[in-house]
Amino acid sequence: MRVNEVPRYFVQLVAGAAVVCGILLISQAFSRVLIQDSDTVVLVEVGNFEAPVALVSWPGTRDLLLAERAGRVHRIGISSDGSFMPIGQVLDISDRVSAVLHGGLLGLAVSPIGDELYVSYTDWNSQVRILAYRMDVSGPVVDSQRLLLAVTQPHVRDGTGLWWHVGGHLIVDPVGQLIVGLGDGSVPGLIPDTHGNSRNLMTLMGNLLRIIPKVDGVSAYGIPKDNPFVDQESVGTRPEILAYGLRNPWRFDLDPATGDLWIADVGRTQIEEVNYLPAADVESGADFGWVAMEGSEVLNGPEPDGDVLPVHEYRRSNKGFDSRCAVIGGVVVRGGHYPDLEGAFLFSDFCDGVIRALVSDGKGGWVVRDLGGSMELPVSFTRSEDGSVYVLSLAGGVYRLE
């Protein structure tokens, strides 16, 4: 797939709607933002790649690892002026990656001490696969690859051959547990959750999972003892589940200062949402409501008892025009680089590209703040170990917030 073809496919990837924002994307494809200035933020382009989708720090080094959707991972150094210096390609699984519609290499994470790399991708055999690699001083050791998890997608198995609502984001918590986001696997149409996955605790789809990667050769992963459903395995509930009732969790983050969990979940046709769990509730088995709810509105109700409503939601339509189409998360600002935004959650929308923040109102709530800067086709945010924030564009650019 050529780079200039990517936006048409990816709007379907994150939004799940073939016609949403088409006019806007065509107009954006002819102009790329190099530096976007505003009263609040400046977006400075520091590198350009082929459809970058994930960027992570490599603990124990000053370098970053960047994933391209086609299935390649690059090691990146930082020059004295802050621009990216590609050191070299350290992993290539493009021969195994299916990048049709919602597919591709979608997630990247590194263990807290930098000795393991985790990647998530869609393969040619209808599975979302999570792999682990041992890391040495050069990068991932290719022949150390081991499969942690494989989740067969029902819509691909049914013969459509297309990837929908995959999720695929990965993060590692401070003690090395791997958190995996999986979409509900539904396809566009009249039925909002085609296979009923989002409210079925016997499946891994439509959930956040939390597992312990293992290297003992006995099992691929362990189950954290404080996972909320760990004692319900006998009735078929999957103990890997940390939270459920999600449609397509497109990026989430753990606040490194508080342990709070933020999730950007892509809506169906009307509402995009940002969800929040304080650290004390992360292991509560939270239900975010989909498919009974879309945001705070009943969709295929009734509303579940005790469901967690979003702390922020917005409608795609603005004065009758679909100016926004899919929420893109998101990181919590920490580290002192942006004092006015310390503790805020940053996010954007794939179609309008405006950088926004959810900022504490000082009363236990959150208010949205438009930071002014905008970019073409944002797809992911990253907070580096030094606190710098980067935003990746599917059109190729990687931008640092200033």
**How confident is the model over 67-89, as pLDDT tens digits?**
999 999 999 999 999 999 999 99
Say whether pLDDT at 20 is over 90. no
Q: Residue 160: its pLDDT value, please? A: 57
Mean pLDDT (whole number) for 362-368: 93
What does the pLDDT look like over 134-143, one tens digit per residue? Answer: 999 999 999 9
Structure confidence at residue 161 (pLDDT): 61
Tell if the pTM clears 0.85, that is, is over it.
yes
The confidence score (pLDDT) of residue 31 equals 29
pLDDT confidence bin for 159, thresholds 50/70/90: low
Q: Which range is least confidently modeled, 96-105, 201-210, 316-325?
A: 316-325
Query: What is the percentage of the chain residues whose pLDDT exceeds 90?
Result: 76
Strand order in the sheet with 389-393: 35-36, 43-48, 397-401, 389-393, 378-383
From the list 68, 31, 24, the residue with the least C-alpha distance to 50 is 68
What does the domain layout of the chain look like in residue ranges? 3-401
Residues 327 and 312: their CA atoms lie apart, in Å, by: 11
Helix (H) or strand (E) holding 272: strand 271-277
pLDDT at res. 35: 40
Residue 55 has pLDDT above 50, yes or no: yes
147-161, 284-298, 378-392, range with the lowest pLDDT: 147-161
Range 3-401: architecture per CATH: 6 Propeller (2.120)
Query: For position 309, what pLDDT does the model report?
Result: 98
pLDDT tens, residue by residue, 166-189:
999 999 999 999 999 999 988 888
User: Counting Cβ atoms within 10 Å, is residue 159 exposed (0-12), middle (13-18) or buried (19+)?
Assistant: exposed
Average pLDDT over every residue of 300-306: 96
Q: How far, CA to CA in Å, does 267 sit from each of 53, 180, 215, 399?
A: 20, 19, 37, 26
For 196, list phi and psi in degrees, rounded to 5: 65, 30
| Res 215: pLDDT | 77
pLDDT value of residue 26: 32
Distances (CA, A) of 165 to 154, 186, 193, 345: 11, 6, 10, 23
Confidence of residue 34 (pLDDT cuts 50, 70, 90): very low
Q: What does the mean pLDDT of the chain come to? A: 89
CB 130 within 8 A of CB 149: yes
The lowest-confidence range among 162-176, 266-280, 317-331, 334-348 is 317-331
Cα distance between residue 392 and residue 398, in whole Å? 5
DSSP H/E element including 85? strand 84-92
Please tell me the predicted confidence (pLDDT) of residue 216: 75
Average pLDDT on 369-388 reads: 95
pLDDT for position 125:
86
Question: What is the 8-class DSSP label of residue 101?
Answer: B
Q: What confidence score (pLDDT) does residue 289 get? A: 98
Write out the H or E segment, with its range, that includes residue 46: strand 43-48
pLDDT computed for residue 9 by the predictor: 45
> In the predicted model, what is the mean pLDDT of residues 26-45?
53
Q: What is the structure's pLDDT at 24?
A: 36
pLDDT for residue 27: 33
Q: According to the model, what pLDDT value does residue 320 have?
A: 57
Q: Residue 19 pLDDT more than 70?
A: no
pLDDT tens for each residue of 213-262: 987 778 899 999 999 999 999 899 999 999 999 999 999 999 999 999 99
Confidence (pLDDT) at 90 = 98
Reply yes or no on whether the pLDDT at 1 is more than 70: no
pLDDT range class, residue 8, cuts 50, 70, 90 = very low
Poorest-pLDDT segment among 12-16, 106-110, 296-300, 311-315: 12-16
Q: Which residues of 220-250 are buried (b: 16+ CB within 10 A; e: fewer)?
A: bbebbeebbbbeeeeeebbbbbbbbbbbbbb
What average pLDDT does this structure show over 275-292? Answer: 98
